[in-house]
Amino acid sequence: MIVRDKLTDIVEELALANRILAHEGVLDAFGHVSVRHPADPGRYLLSRSRSPLLIEPDDILEFTLDSAPVKPPKVHLYAERVIHGCIYQARSDVMAVCHHHAPAVMPFCIAGKPIVPVFHLGAAMGEDAPFWDQHDEFGDTNLLVVKQEEGNSLARTLGKHSAVLMNRHGATVVGGGLKELVSRSIHVPKRRVSDARARARHATAPVSRRDQARRLAQPAAERCNEDMGILEHAARSERRHAAAP
């Protein structure tokens, strides 16, 4: 019997999470997803700079929470990896982070409109997501988050929330684990699409606070399984494809 270690499993899950989020239109060529190291909370795992749809376990690298690679890399790294390190430093409860520029969220990032949960899956994300404008603290920039102080500022605005919108840039979503993060990252853009379509029909009453509280009271793993069990489903489907002649 082969006993696999936890790190091997989480590296494979992270590679799979990249491909799922790319397939779902959440990650484009520039988005990225990370997970805290399972044995060392002072490190996190993130792929080398590569299209998320192509990420394999061999692409996954280890970083300190200062976003320095643990081993000198021979490959290109994501410039915005400080987003991940700064959030892991600020939030000990966060085990996974996704930063993306999904087309579905961009109109909200540009308009700076508050988001409200308008259907039950959206409520799992929490009551609201704060809005971070890099210009407030740093003036004119290229809108990329590449300095520690920029990452720390973003983490402060995220606070205890599950997601933060970034002015004219994208969004950053956090989770207590990879499954929760993948589920949440997929539903945030869907929630915005539903919200926008409902607005067009003048029907945007938010989910009631009582319903949201009940939804959030469910254990995260239960919510994810109920919503889709997406990692298991995708892994099974990949295995079926791999086994096909």
Residues that bind Zn ion (CB under 5 A): 80
Q: What is the DSSP letter of 117?
A: -
Q: Which is nearer to Zn ion, 150 or 227 (CB)?
A: 150
Pairing type for strands 96-100 and 32-36 reads antiparallel
Which tokens sit at 82?
């400080």
Asked whether the beta carbons of 132 and 143 are under 8 A apart, the reply is: no
Which tokens sit at 245?
């002649």
Q: Which is nearer to Zn ion, 171 or 231 (CB)?
A: 171
Specify whether 80 is catalytic. Answer: yes
CB of 65 to Zn ion, least distance (A): 19
Ordered strands of the 60-64 beta sheet: 60-64, 43-47, 32-36, 96-100, 170-175, 163-166, 131-132
CB of 131 to Zn ion, least distance (A): 15
CB of 116 to Zn ion, least distance (A): 24
The owner of tokens 């494809």 is 241
- The residue from 13, 80, 150, 180 that is catalytic is 80
Q: Which is nearer to Zn ion, 80 or 227 (CB)?
A: 80
Give the catalytic positions in this structure.
80
